[in-house]
Structure 1
Amino acid sequence: MSFKKIACIAALSLSAISSFIYAGSAQAISFKMTTGIAGPNGETNQGAFSEFTKLPGTTTINFNDGKVPTTGFAKYSFENTSGTSSVRSDVWAPPGVKDTDINKSSYLAVFNGDKVTINLDGYLNYFGIDWGAISANNTFSFYNGNTLIKTFTTADVNPVAPTHGSQQNGEGSGYVHFYSNSTNDIFNKIVISQTSTNGGGFESDNHSFHSGTDRFTGFDPKAVPEPSVILGMLTVGGMFLRKRKNEKLQSVSQSH
Structure 2
Amino acid sequence: MKLLGKTLTAVALACTSLAANAAYITTFTSGMTTQVAGATVYDFENGKPANYTGAGSVINFSSSTTAAPAGDSTYYYSVAYPDQTGIGTFNAGNGTAYDYFGLYWGSIDDYNSLKFYSNGSLVATITGLDVIATGTSLGNQTAAGSNRYVNFFFDTTFDRIDFLTTNYAFEMDNHAFARTTNVPEPATLGLLGMGLLGASLVRRRKR
What's the TM-score once normalised by structure 1's chain length? 0.54
Select which of 164, 172, 176 maps to 1:208.
Answer: 176
Select which of 60, 67, 71 maps to 1:89.
Answer: 60
Matched, 1:64 2:40: no
What's the TM-score once normalised by structure 2's chain length? 0.66
RCO higher in 1 or 2 (8 Å CA, sep ≥ 6)?
Answer: 2
Matches within 5 A, 1:177-192: 177-181=151-155, 185-192=156-163
**CA 1:89 to 1:186, structure 2 compared with 1: closer, same or farther past 3 Å?**
same
2:161 aligned counterpart, secondary structure: strand
Matches within 5 A, 1:97-176: 102-111=71-80, 112-121=84-93, 122-160=96-134, 167-168=141-142, 172-176=146-150
Q: Deviations over 1:12-71 (max 9, x none)?
A: xxxxxxxxxxxxxx9512211222x3xxxxxxxxxx11111xx13x11010012x2111x
Matched, 1:28 2:23: yes
Q: Deviations over 1:153-197 (max 9, x none)?
A: 01111145967x99537871100001113xxx2111111110x2x
The one-letter code of the counterpart of 2:98 is L
1:226 paired residue number: none
The offset of 1:87, in angstroms, is 0.7
The one-letter code of the counterpart of 1:140 is L
**CA 1:88 to 1:159, structure 2 compared with 1: closer, same or farther past 3 Å?**
same
Whichever of the two has the greater Rg, that structure is 1
**CA 1:133 to 1:177, structure 2 compared with 1: closer, same or farther past 3 Å?**
same
Percent identity over paired residues: 27
Unmatched tracts of structure 2, length 5 or more: 1-20, 184-207
Count of residue pairs the alignment pairs up: 154
8 Å Cα contact 1:30/1:180 also seen in 2: yes
The offset of 1:214, in angstroms, is 2.9
8 Å Cα contact 1:186/1:212 also seen in 2: no
Select which of 63, 76, 85 maps to 2:52.
Answer: 76
